[in-house]
Amino acid sequence: MTQRLYIDVHVVQTVPPANLNRDDQGNPKEAIYGGVRRSRVSSQAWKRASRQHFDAQAPEPDRATRTKRIAQELTNRIARKTGLGQDESARLSAALLARLGLSQGKKAGDTAYLLFYGNAQLEAVADLLTDRAADLAALEEKALTEAVKELPVAEHFRTGHPVGVALFGRMVADIPKLNVDAAVQVAHAISTHETQLEFDYFTAVDDQNERDETGAGMIGTIGFNSATLYRYATVGFAQLADNLGGDTEAALDALDRFVDSFTLSAPTGYQNSFAHRTRPSLVAVVVRTDQPVNLVSAFEEPVAAEAGIQARSARRLAEEHITAMQMWGDTPLYGAATHTFAAREPGTKDTTEALTQAFGEPVSFADLRATLRTRIATTLGEGE
């Protein structure tokens, strides 16, 4: 596929007091941007949340796993398929994975790094020896190594990628043949305004305290903040289709699942303590043929900390998009947005008008996904 298409996803989302993604001190991650301190959620945290969201809705063979324990996972599959014991299956698993040249970790059986693979890919590797597993298990080590030498183990990891691997890629520094170029880039989410770190001092009372006993069973503190976040991700459609073997329909499905999961997912740090799950107030998608464009510069000057932060943040985003189009003359191929702002509400008329000028009349989230898919499919069909 030669058609260059980049799908930018812009999200404005307000999160109540929370600690979505903690730093090495246990406090919410932060960043300095525009000369002030902002709340920050790392790209890795939201990518993992997105991947878990769409994996939860997919059948097991279509899911991906990232682990150091691939040897044990393969061992379990071999044992289940062949009826061999764990020790015999572990020998066969080690012989197969030795064909990849994976560096060994400090713990026995672990690799030195997390390996990202599709569950169906590992099933296919296990199937390579199902018909003669008992005979192979009876061989001495040298003979076993020679017997599996020509089996296409690496080939099964280079094809048939699940959505997770196709989207986020895979890097194995010492085995380039296993690398998969990512089709998605995700920015660190930052607050559109200045934030302050706060602390929740909590106590837990022992339910079995005697009547004359006072005081808490334990005390502690949890750092938190609240913020209206700007979140951004972009998908390179050509790379995504290539990662999925050139299957355009599969790439369209993967894109749709990513937009859905990136929008609706959230990191789960301290979720039980803060119940922080919210929905975005704005989701905008922009299809471009030149390059991805992150609109975070809309918030280089922080939004003033007063009522209506999310509405003013959405308006800033729309105005930045309009200004960029006017300045660079790079009108996108397509744009659409869904949002919660209504002109009839006090203080939101300017926001609604700016969003309509930037992205068109608002649509439901379901319609946004459907029209996005249709527009890309039409564009690709016209380019054939």
In a structure prediction context, what are the per-residue pLDDT tens digits for the chain, which is 384 residues long? 458 999 999 999 999 999 999 998 989 999 999 999 999 999 999 999 999 999 998 888 888 889 999 999 999 999 999 988 999 999 999 999 888 888 888 887 788 888 889 999 999 999 998 888 898 899 999 999 998 888 899 899 988 999 999 999 998 877 888 899 999 999 999 999 999 998 988 777 777 776 666 666 677 788 889 999 999 999 999 999 999 999 999 999 999 999 999 999 999 988 888 889 999 999 999 999 999 999 999 999 999 977 789 999 999 999 999 999 999 988 899 999 999 998 666 667 899 999 999 999 999 999 999 999 999 999 998 765
CA 181, CA 171: separation in Å to the nearest integer?
Answer: 8
Count other C-beta atoms under 10 Å from residue 186's C-beta: 23
Annotate 276-302 with DSSP letters as a single string: -----SEEEEEEESS-----GGGGSSP
Question: Quick one: which H or E segment has residue 223?
Answer: strand 218-236
The SS3 of residue 366 is: helix
- Are the C-beta atoms of 310 and 14 separated by less than 8 Å? yes
CA 299, CA 228: separation in Å to the nearest integer?
Answer: 11
> Hey, what are 186's tokens?
């995700």
- Are the C-beta atoms of 278 and 226 separated by less than 8 Å? no
Q: What sign for the dihedral angle of Cα 217, 223, 226, 229? A: negative
Q: What is the pLDDT of residue 384?
A: 57
Q: What sign for the dihedral angle of Cα 24, 26, 28, 32? A: negative
Q: What is the pLDDT of residue 244?
A: 95
Rounded to 10°, the helix 119-127/70-82 angle is 50
Q: Give residue 135's Cα distance to chain centre.
A: 42
Count other C-beta atoms under 10 Å from residue 257's C-beta: 20
CA 78, CA 72: separation in Å to the nearest integer?
Answer: 10
**Nearest partner of 321 among 305, 341, 342, 299, judged by Cα:** 299
CA 162, CA 168: separation in Å to the nearest integer?
Answer: 10
User: Can you give the length of the chain in residues?
Assistant: 384
Q: What is the pLDDT of residue 214?
A: 67
> Hey, what are 238's tokens?
């050509």
Q: Give residue 83's Cα distance to chain centre.
A: 37
Q: Which residues pair with 288 in a beta bridge?
A: 6
> Hey, what are 184's tokens?
């998605």
- Are the C-beta atoms of 183 and 239 separated by less than 8 Å? yes
Count other C-beta atoms under 10 Å from residue 250's C-beta: 17
Phi-psi region of 176 (alpha: psi -120 to 50; beta: other; left: phi over 0): alpha
**Sequence-ordered alpha helix ranges (H) in the chain:** 43-56, 70-82, 86-98, 119-127, 133-137, 141-147, 153-158, 163-168, 237-243, 248-264, 271-274, 309-328, 349-359, 365-382
Q: What is the pLDDT of residue 212?
A: 67
Q: What is the pLDDT of residue 382?
A: 74
CA 314, CA 301: separation in Å to the nearest integer?
Answer: 14
> Hey, what are 135's tokens?
């005979």
Q: What is the pLDDT of residue 298?
A: 97
The separation between the first and the last C-alpha atoms of the chain, rounded to the nearest angstrom, is 10
Q: Give residue 110's Cα distance to chain centre.
A: 24
Q: Which residues pair with 287 in a beta bridge?
A: 7, 334
Q: Residue 331 half-sphere exposure, CB side, CA atoms within 13 Å? A: 3
Predicted model pTM: 0.90
